[in-house]
Structure 1
């Protein structure tokens, strides 16, 4: 007699929803912070348990079957209900009301970190800080693993309480030996011959696409996009490449051998907001949101600034948008 060893749990529903919403096993695996083979195995296990195929797979695309389309809203509802049950149980924990888990971008300044922690400690709150990208923060907030995040636009706002947007203009970073280094003010059109150093798309897909769209609108289609987080300086020196960044970050992270130049008309901005779950932005959580919002303005030069309608349209497009086709270097 054989014992059936497979046990379905909420993770299989979460994996199915991730693939169904992305229509890509590779993208879903990145969003879930796992490799693709075990994700494919879990989906196969789920299909075996249900006795139906949920996806039509080919080398070029992934589509939901009729059974998958029927199953998706029920699986989404199950994941939401499970996450809500966890959050409800945690709210009843005696320690919950005095503990906040806050996710912040990697470039957050020490001044913001120390101000937020000190201010909340005055309220006798235990603060747990998490360093995470926008994509990671969005997932952690949705699953209830953190209480507050600071996300870069664009992102899906559904189910979240989002502060007013804060903005900063981006300029151009280059080597001091770059041919454009002596030009006082640049336009995007001036950058056409030069490669762009950019973060990897999976870290913030919406922001990645938005930046390239804005570059293209200003007349700059990079001949190459060089993906890097640790080799930015090397690419700027050896490739005569350029990067887009705020002036504050450049002053903190690069030396005298690099220069920062503003862009004429400030055509490209970063926007950010402080985010928590819609039904939990009360009490100490609301206090923390306000402290973070004020600290970002005071110490990192973020300015209250609405996103233009032409840019806001990317928020609805980025979720389904495929990566921009460029010649890429990792």
Structure 2
């Protein structure tokens, strides 16, 4: 059976055309080298070298074999680099789920940065409701999720990658449009459009608790799953909403965003299963944090 070392012996001799110098390069004695070359020729069924007492020359078959084994070794070196890259999380496959609202904040920047840094990683992105993301991670359907911190983090790892203030979005002609800063107490008589708690408990609870802390019990008129749909419905005059500040990036002409007094801050986290050993997770999380830092600086 031909082994990689036989090819190494052959190429050393082909490049030196001298058994003594080839053996020295290979750190072996000359007799074993001669035996291995003879065995290689026997295995191939062709003569690779013409030998005489004074010189060694490659045959036509030997010249062809030398060219082809160069391709073999190039492929082997590439295989070693690929294995190392995979072990370091620079190659492979990574499945990422994200909330649609983060498409207006950090997900685009994270995706661009990671794809540029790790082009050998097959990155699969899927938009998913917050309520389903943690389950996707626990079940192994996704490697990483970009989401609000789940209520139950047992068996999960989380890292905060982005923080943003909440803001109020108002419809056309609203009575509070002239106010540069909105006191939550001024929203007591308003109809709220809010995400259902079963869909995004962290976000729902933050909004309700913020209102309650300021003596306001929110009058919930509509419960809507998607933040962009909530903003659209506000633009249609169906109520007001407290949403992440990044939703301003929808740039609707029918809505106006105003800052809140002592606004609550929502955290977006990267979540993955503790026993998921995909090495691409670590590179993704590191890249996500860097991209988020850059996005935060640009937003200031």
Q: TM-score, normalised by structure 2?
A: 0.61
- The corresponding residue for 1:255 is 252
- The corresponding residue for 1:290 is 286
- The corresponding residue for 1:7 is none
Matched, 1:205 2:201: yes
Within a 5 Å distance, the mapping from 1:125-144 to structure 2 comes to 125-144=121-140
SS at match of 2:123: strand
Query: What CA deviation, in whole Å up to 9, does each residue of 1:266-312 have, x standing for no partner?
Result: 2x221121111113366322011111222233236799xxxxxxxxx
- The corresponding residue for 1:98 is 92
Contact 1:153 1:207 in 2 (8 A): no
Within a 5 Å distance, the mapping from 1:83-94 to structure 2 comes to none
Q: After superposing the two structures, state which structure 1 stretch, 96-105 or 226-235, moved more.
A: 226-235
- The corresponding residue for 1:238 is 237
Within a 5 Å distance, the mapping from 1:119-130 to structure 2 comes to 119-121=117-119, 124-130=120-126
From 104, 116, 140, the counterpart of 1:118: 116
Contact 1:98 1:126 in 2 (8 A): yes
With over 3 angstroms needed to count, the CA separation of the structure-2 counterparts of 1:301 and 1:149, relative to structure 1, is farther
Within a 5 Å distance, the mapping from 1:55-70 to structure 2 comes to none
Unaligned runs of 5+ in 2: 1-85
CA distance in 2, matches of 1:261, 1:277: 38
Unaligned runs of 5+ in 1: 1-93, 304-330
Contact 2:100 2:129 in 1 (8 A): yes
With over 3 angstroms needed to count, the CA separation of the structure-2 counterparts of 1:114 and 1:166, relative to structure 1, is closer
With over 3 angstroms needed to count, the CA separation of the structure-2 counterparts of 1:281 and 1:188, relative to structure 1, is farther
CA distance in 1, matches of 2:240, 2:285: 35
With over 3 angstroms needed to count, the CA separation of the structure-2 counterparts of 1:207 and 1:245, relative to structure 1, is closer
The alignment covers a number of residue pairs equal to 205
Contact 2:193 2:230 in 1 (8 A): no
Query: What CA deviation, in whole Å up to 9, does each residue of 1:121-167 have, x standing for no partner?
Result: 1xx11111111122211000000111111120352211112114632
With over 3 angstroms needed to count, the CA separation of the structure-2 counterparts of 1:232 and 1:168, relative to structure 1, is closer
With over 3 angstroms needed to count, the CA separation of the structure-2 counterparts of 1:302 and 1:243, relative to structure 1, is farther
With over 3 angstroms needed to count, the CA separation of the structure-2 counterparts of 1:99 and 1:234, relative to structure 1, is closer
Q: After superposing the two structures, state which structure 1 stretch, 111-120 or 145-154, moved more.
A: 111-120
Query: What CA deviation, in whole Å up to 9, does each residue of 1:63-84 have, x standing for no partner?
Result: xxxxxxxxxxxxxxxxxxxxxx
CA distance in 2, matches of 1:225, 1:198: 8
Contact 2:158 2:270 in 1 (8 A): yes
CA distance in 2, matches of 1:152, 1:126: 25
SS at match of 2:272: strand
CA distance in 2, matches of 1:213, 1:231: 19
CA distance in 2, matches of 1:206, 1:273: 12
Q: TM-score, normalised by structure 1?
A: 0.56
From 132, 135, 157, the counterpart of 1:161: 157
